Structure formats: C-alpha cells, structure tokens
C-alpha cells in the first residue's frame, strides 16, 4: 500500500485535519501503535482512511507552484481498484482558500481551463491528472508556500467518502513523473 508523505510543516497545515484525531483513536485502541511515534501513527491513520475509501488510491501527488500568489496546479494519479465507478466531486486544503476541479480543453483552436463539477474514475482503472487534462486548481494560498513544502489536500467523493494526501510542492519548471497524460486507462 502506498502511503503519501505527511506534512511536517509547523504552520497551520496540521490543524483541523482529521488524521491526527484518527491517529489518536487508533493509538487508544491499539497500544502497539504507540511504538510508531507521531509520524508512524499519522501514517497508520492515513492507511485506515485509505482502506475506508472503497478501493481508491492516490499516487504521485504534487503541485506546480507559481510565484506571486498565482493559482497553482495540483496533479495526481487516482487508481480505482473497486468494482464500481467512483465520482470525485471536490477537494479542499487548509493551505488554500479555494481548490477546484478543472480540465484543460481545446475548443476552436484555443486551449482553456474550465471548472468541472465531477470527475468519474471508472471501476478497475486509473486516471492521471495532468496539465493538459484534469487537474486541481489551487487558489488563494493561506500561508507562504514554497517548493519543497508538502500540502494536505482532501478529495471528496459523491458517496461522502474522503481521501487525504500530502502533495509535494515543486517549482514552476517541474515536470510530471512518468509522463502523466490525463486520460483514463485500464
């Protein structure tokens, strides 16, 4: 199971996040987890949350940072290992005032980004978010964010389930790992 890195920033990024509360509950129920320490307990909480997300995994989560508080792009790979399609309906982060689901399209020879209300991840498939496809548009940073930071982002699905991941912040010149194309594959 892939566990994303958790933010170690001392800023507000760790407040109001459900994972620490879940980690505390897991520690109370499983004394052996106390040996893991805070970071290990947070990873255990993430694993519990991942297990409860009905077969959806987040991998290669990163943000292309832009200077001067310009909107940043968030990219990831969502893998749906379940027998049912999963529908992503939103995202949020304590580090950004607004996070929207977007898609880049070409219409009449012009490329543009448009907000989308939902993104369906078919059963047993993978969807890569990329600059020229689906992506997260991160606006209104709530604190100073720089390359090298990790930003927590919670994805919300139509069935009410959520997934939390840590997105690595990379510089404007960063390229996508593995050549993400932004289209579903099987």
Could you give all domains of the chain from N- to C-terminal order, each with its CATH number? 12-171 (2.60.40.1890)
Question: Which pLDDT does position 159 carry in this prediction?
Answer: 96
- In tens, the pLDDT along 59-69 reads 999 999 999 98
Question: Which pLDDT does position 101 carry in this prediction?
Answer: 98
Segment (H or E) for 91: strand 86-92
- 10-residue mean pLDDT profile of the chain (186 residues): values are 42 37 40 45 52 78 94 97 97 98 93 96 96 95 95 97 97 75 38
Q: Within 13 Å, how many C-alpha atoms sit on residue 101's CB side?
A: 15
User: What tokens does 130 get?
Assistant: 């990329």
Q: What is the dihedral of CA 126, 148, 98, 82, to 10 degrees?
A: 20
What is the C-alpha to C-alpha distance for residues 50 and 3, in angstroms, rounded to an integer?
9
Neighbours of 14 (CB within 10 A): 16
User: What tokens does 71 get?
Assistant: 């909107």
- In tens, the pLDDT along 41-77 reads 555 555 545 444 569 999 999 999 999 989 999 999 9
């Amino acid at each position: 199971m892939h566990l994303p890195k958790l933010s170690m920033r001392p800023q507000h990024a760790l407040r109001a996040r459900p994972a620490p509360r879940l980690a505390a509950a897991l520690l109370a129920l499983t004394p052996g987890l106390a040996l893991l320490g805070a970071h290990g307990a947070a990873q255990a909480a993430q694993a519990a949350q991942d297990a409860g997300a009905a077969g959806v995994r987040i991998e290669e989560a990163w943000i292309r940072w832009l200077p001067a508080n310009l909107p940043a792009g968030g990219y990831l790979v969502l893998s749906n290992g379940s027998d049912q399609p999963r529908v992503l309906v939103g995202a949020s982060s304590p580090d950004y005032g607004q996070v929207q689901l977007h898609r880049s399209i070409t219409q009449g020879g012009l490329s543009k980004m448009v907000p989308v209300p939902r993104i369906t991840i078919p059963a047993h498939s993978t969807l890569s978010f990329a600059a020229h496809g689906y992506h997260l548009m991160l606006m209104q940073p709530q604190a100073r964010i720089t390359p090298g930071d990790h930003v927590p982002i919670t994805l919300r699905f139509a069935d009410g389930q959520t997934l939390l991941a840590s997105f690595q912040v990379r510089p404007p010149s960063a390229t996508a790992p593995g050549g993400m194309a932004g289209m579903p594959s099987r």
